[in-house]
Every structure is written in structure tokens, then in C-alpha cells.
């Protein structure tokens, strides 16, 4: 898969780019994810050609300083501009300055300006995507260093500002940028309020990205995405367990039992939902994770299952238990692509609602509902995601957890683990792959698991070095690891404006396997 670096400091633009490239076998990586450097400097000037040239040269210098000697790698930058006809008497207004203009302009002021100009509300939104060319591509373009792909959409500014929330799944359809005021021709609402299928038809960046991808496809750099690779070579004695059920029913408890007694790698689906959320919204977003998850499973039901499958493949995991799927479509997708003829066992864990709420109070987890009303609301939201349908579908696979843990575990083993499999499963659980630094970080935080504390990257580096006999690891290396990208292995919490980390359930599952290897 070809990796292309996108110079942007905006997680929203990065998420938008990944969406527009979703049909191609290409990985779009943010520059800050790939390096520990700053994004390129975009000069505040109003000549488009000059802006593109200076922005490209600045990005190129940073790229050459940060990247490897592989000259065939690619990167791109993107610039958005807006032209409001009534205000563009001397030059495009706000033009290339739209980001700053939006910060300084409210709707009432804009509305008054337009009405003073015969209420001409016509506007155009434009995108310029600048692709850095590798040497082999330059030979096809008369030795040009880059190509610029452009697209635009025309429409009108709304007559009345509307109040709505940013789309949780597609955050570029937001209530902050010019999208909240812009109604494309042929539409009756601002583009930010349109369903994604309609919004995509009027996406001002879409054609520019399409033309860039078509150029790369013509020159055999990329191809259309194929079906996910089906997992093979799983030993018949190692069933993969998918454990579903409502909050605090006992899913994680059962998964940890499998990890402890049979060496299973525990993967928690919600850790990958958070990963998708962070990739689109960052850490400090006001968008509710529950609302994001609900829409994500409606629009893209494989969003978590696909990431879990890839994680299993990357880690070369042989014995896996997955907890937390909420939708039947997730299970269907995973069953289709995980294997062909090898055992997947779906277990639905049930428990009385009052007992589950009592467990949530005892846990005192950060993400638990604080009172019964909120707990019931979360139950209802998860049921709407598809959990209620899962319960009906796997009624015969239901395992109740209303008594003691011993009774719960014995019930599971009696039903799902054949006696001849028990020693086989425990003896054949494979170790997982991980980079050296990642292993050290996971194992360091594993020692702090019981405290449930969060740590800054500086604190993690200090803890890590306390456990090393050899050369200490640089704090910058640890910070670089966390700043380059988000991972499903860590929970993140903002404390006094600082990001702090601890192991997620998936991170705990991986760290346990690494320690036992």
C-alpha cells in the first residue's frame, strides 16, 4: 500500500482526506504523525500562485529534513479559498484568507454586508491540492516538481443562520467553518447539514482529490481498494471468541479469564471506536463519543471490525477474544473476512440491569454513567446501535452472569471449551509483535495497571528508564511515539490541559502477552 504524507495540522482535514481516498489502496498519513516536526508555514498572502509556491517550498524543506533518503515518496498540501461575489470587488474576498476571516466575522455582520450589496449571496468554495512528485513521476510531467489539482463548488450563503451540531462521523461537516453558511446549488440546506452521500456530491475538495488519485492510478502508483484479506492458517483448536452484551454484564471479566488461563489476546472494540474518534476530532472535542459511535455504525458498520482485523494481522495473533461489538453488521463483516471454515464462537453475556448498574458504581470507571438515568440512557443508545438485535440473534448462545464468578466461568467452559481443547489452547497461544519502544511503554504501564493512574509522556519516560539497566530512553523518543499517531492501546485524558495516558483494555491485553512471551 502506498503511503502519501499530508501536510496539515488539522485532524479534521486529515479525516476528510482519508474519506476522499477511501476507495483506493493508499494510506494517507499526517506529517505530524510521521515526524516530530511542525507543519509547513502557510504565508498570509493573497496571490494564489505565490501562496502555493511558497507553501510548497516550505513543506519541501521540512520534508527533506525529516524524511528518509527514499526520493520516490510523495506528499501533498491543500489550500481552501472562498469567493463571495458581493464582497469581491477588488480581489477575492475572503479568498485565501478564509480561515482568519471566519474567526473575525459573525453571521449578522456578513448578512448586513450582503444586503447592502443588493443581497447578492452567491459564493464559490475552491480547493487546490498540490502533489509533490517523485523523480519517476517528474519524467512524465516535463520535470515539474509538483502538480496542482483544483476543484470548486458554487452556491449561495444562507438567508438565516441555523443552529446545529457538527456531524460526529464526518467532522468536516461542521458548525464552525464556512460550510455552515454555504448552500451548494441544487441543495436546500448548508452542506454541513446534508447527509454524507449528498454532501459528497457537492464536496468542494472531491474532484481535486479524484483527479490526483486518477493521476497516480494512471502511473501505476495506486489501485482501487480490493476486498480485505481473509485471515488464514488459524489452528482449528484455537477458536476466536466474540463476546457481546450490555455494559457491565461481564464481557471484559470473561475476556480477562480467557487471557489469564488460555493466553488469549483481548481486544476491546470500544478502544478502536475511540481511535476512529480521535483521528477525526482529536482529544479535546466536544462531540460526544456515544453519538459518534452510533452514527459510525450506521454509516460505516465495519469501521471497528476492519481495524481489529488489521490489528490481528499486524500482531500475528493466534488466539483472540474480541469484546464490545454493538451491531450485527460488525459481527457479520468480521465473520466474513476473518476466516473461511475456522471456528468463530459468538457469546452473548446477559445480566440483570439493576445488577449491572451496581457493578458500574463499584467500578467507578471514568466512562461509567454517574446515575441510573444516564446508565439507562446508555443502554438505550447501545440497543439502538444493534445490541438488542444481537441479543435476539444469539439467544441460544446467551450466558447469564447474575451469580458468582466461579459459576459464570464454569458455565462458559462447560458450554464452549471442550476438554481436549483446554491444554491445547493454553499451550499454543502465540506471542504478539511489537516494536522495541512500544513494548517498553506497554510493559511499563502494565506495572501501573492496578493504580489506574494516567501519566504524561515525561512521566512515562521516567518510569520506563527506572526499569532499564542499559542506556536510558530519551523523553523525546517517548513523546514522539505518542505524538505521531493515536493507538488503540491507550486511554487518553486531558488533565490541566495536558494529555495523560494509561493502558486501555486492548493495551492491557497486548502487554500481558508480551510479558509472558
pLDDT at res. 360: 86
Question: Based on the domain organization, do 194 and 256 belong to the same domain?
Answer: no
Q: Is residue 230 part of a domain?
A: no
Closest CA to 346 of 400, 416, 273, 403: 416
Same domain, 246 and 354: yes
| Predicted local confidence at residue 340, as pLDDT | 45
What's the Cα-to-Cα distance from 139 to each of 64, 67, 70, 222, rounded to whole Å?
20, 22, 17, 18
The reply to whether 397 and 493 lie within a common domain is no
Residue 516: its pLDDT value, please? 83
CA-to-CA distance for 291 and 76, rounded, in angstroms?
Answer: 32
d(CA 255, CA 243): 8
417 and 441 part of one domain = no
Residues of the chain with pLDDT below 70 are 32-41, 43, 67-71, 227-238, 339-342, 364-370, 418-431, 469-471
Does residue 283 lie within any of the structural domains?
yes
**Global pTM value:** 0.78
User: Is the same domain home to 166 and 89?
Assistant: yes
Distance, CA of 88 to CA of 98 (rounded, Å) = 13
Give the end of a domain, one of 387, 409, 428: 428
Q: Which of 409, 428, 447 is the last residue of a domain?
A: 428
- How many Cα atoms are found within 13 Å in the side-chain-facing hemisphere of 397? 16
The CATH number of the domain holding residue 448 is: 1.10.10.10
Which residue from 25, 29, 30, 28 is spatially nearest to 8, judged by alpha carbons? 30
| Residues 490 and 507 occupy one common structural domain | yes
**Structural domain for 420, as ranges:** 240-428
Structural domain includes residue 160:
yes
What CATH number is given to the structural domain containing 259? 3.40.50.300
The predicted structure's pLDDT at residue 232: 43
Q: Are residues 206 and 317 in the same domain?
A: no
Beta bridge partner(s), residue 81? 126
Task: Mark whether 470 and 496 lie in a shared domain.
Answer: yes
Q: Are residues 468 and 407 in the same domain?
A: no
260 and 181 housed in the same domain: no
Cβ proximity of 354 and 298 under 8 Å: no
**Which of 372, 395, 428 corresponds to the end of one domain?**
428
Contact 271, 375 (CB under 8 A): no
Q: How many domains does the chain have?
A: 3
In a domain, 231, yes or no: no
Q: What was the pLDDT predicted at 430? A: 52
Same domain, 473 and 387: no
1-28 pLDDT tens trace = 788 999 988 889 999 999 999 999 898 9
Identify whether residues 497 and 416 lie together within a single domain.
no
Amino acid at each position: 500500500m502506498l503511503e502519501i504524507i499530508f501536510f496539515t495540522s488539522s485532524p479534521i482535514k486529515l479525516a476528510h482526506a482519508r474519506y476522499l481516498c477511501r476507495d483506493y489502496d493508499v494510506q494517507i498519513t499526517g506529517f505530524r504523525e510521521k515526524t516530530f516536526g511542525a507543519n509547513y508555514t502557510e504565508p498570509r498572502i493573497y496571490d494564489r500562485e505565490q501562496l502555493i509556491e511558497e507553501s510548497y517550498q516550505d513543506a519541501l524543506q521540512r520534508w527533506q529534513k525529516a524524511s528518509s533518503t527514499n526520493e520516490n515518496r510523495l506528499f501533498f498540501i491543500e489550500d481552501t479559498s472562498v469567493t463571495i461575489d458581493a464582497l469581491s470587488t477588488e480581489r477575492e474576498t475572503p479568498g485565501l484568507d478564509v480561515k482568519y476571516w471566519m474567526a473575525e466575522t459573525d453571521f449578522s455582520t456578513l448578512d448586513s454586508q450582503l444586503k447592502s450589496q443588493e443581497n447578492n449571496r452567491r459564493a464559490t468554495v475552491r480547493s487546490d491540492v498540490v502533489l509533490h512528485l517523485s523523480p519517476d513521476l517528474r519524467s512524465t510531467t516535463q520535470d515539474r516538481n509538483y502538480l496542482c489539482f483544483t476543484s470548486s463548488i458554487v452556491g449561495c450563503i444562507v438567508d438565516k443562520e441555523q443552529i446545529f451540531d457538527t456531524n460526529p462521523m464526518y467532522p468536516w461537516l461542521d458548525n464552525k467553518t464556512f460550510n455552515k453558511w454555504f448552500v451548494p446549488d441544487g441543495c436546500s440546506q448548508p452542506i454541513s447539514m446534508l447527509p454524507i452521500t449528498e454532501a459528497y456530491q457537492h464536496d468542494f475538495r472531491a474532484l481535486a482529490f479524484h483527479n490526483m488519485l486518477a493521476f497516480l492510478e494512471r502511473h501505476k502508483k495506486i489501485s482501487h481498494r480490493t476486498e480485505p484479506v481473509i485471515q488464514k492458517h488459524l489452528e482449528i483448536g484455537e477458536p476466536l471468541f466474540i463476546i457481546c452484551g450490555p455494559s457491565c454484564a461481564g464481557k471484559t471479566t470473561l475476556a480477562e479469564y480467557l487471557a489469564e488461563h488460555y493466553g488469549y489476546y483481548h481486544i476491546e472494540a470500544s478502544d478502536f471506536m475511540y481511535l476512529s474518534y480521535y483521528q477525526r476530532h482529536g482529544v479535546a472535542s466536544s462531540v460526544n463519543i456515544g453519538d459518534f459511535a452510533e452514527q459510525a455504525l450506521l454509516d460505516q458498520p465495519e469501521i471497528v471490525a476492519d481495524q481489529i482485523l488489521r490489528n490481528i494481522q499486524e500482531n500475528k495473533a493466534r488466539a483472540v477474544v474480541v469484546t464490545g461489538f454493538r451491531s450485527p453488521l460488525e459481527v457479520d463483516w468480521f465473520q466474513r473476512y476473518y476466516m473461511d471454515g475456522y471456528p468463530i464462537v459468538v457469546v452473548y453475556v446477559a445480566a440483570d440491569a439493576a445488577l449491572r448498574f451496581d457493578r458500574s458504581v463499584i467500578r467507578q470507571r471514568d466512562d461509567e454513567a454517574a446515575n441510573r438515568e444516564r446508565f439507562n440512557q446508555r443502554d438505550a443508545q447501545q440497543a439502538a446501535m444493534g445490541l438488542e438485535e444481537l441479543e435476539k440473534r444469539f439467544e441460544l448462545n446467551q450466558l447469564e452472569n447474575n451469580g458468582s464468578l466461579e459459576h459464570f466461568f464454569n458455565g462458559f467452559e462447560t458450554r464452549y471449551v471442550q476438554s481436549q481443547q483446554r491444554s491445547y489452547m493454553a499451550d499454543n497461544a502465540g506471542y504478539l509483535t511489537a516494536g522495541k519502544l512500544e513494548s517498553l511503554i506497554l510493559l511499563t504501564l502494565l506495572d501501573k495497571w492496578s493504580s489506574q493512574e494516567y501519566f504524561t509522556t515525561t512521566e512515562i519516560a521516567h518510569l520506563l528508564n527506572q526499569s532499564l539497566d542499559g542506556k536510558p530512553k530519551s523523553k523525546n523518543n517517548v513523546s514522539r511515539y505518542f505524538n505521531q499517531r493515536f493507538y488503540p492501546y491507550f486511554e487518553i485524558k486531558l488533565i490541566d490541559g495536558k494529555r495523560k495516558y494509561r493502558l486501555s483494555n486492548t493495551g492491557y491485553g497486548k502487554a500481558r502477552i508480551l510479558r509472558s512471551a
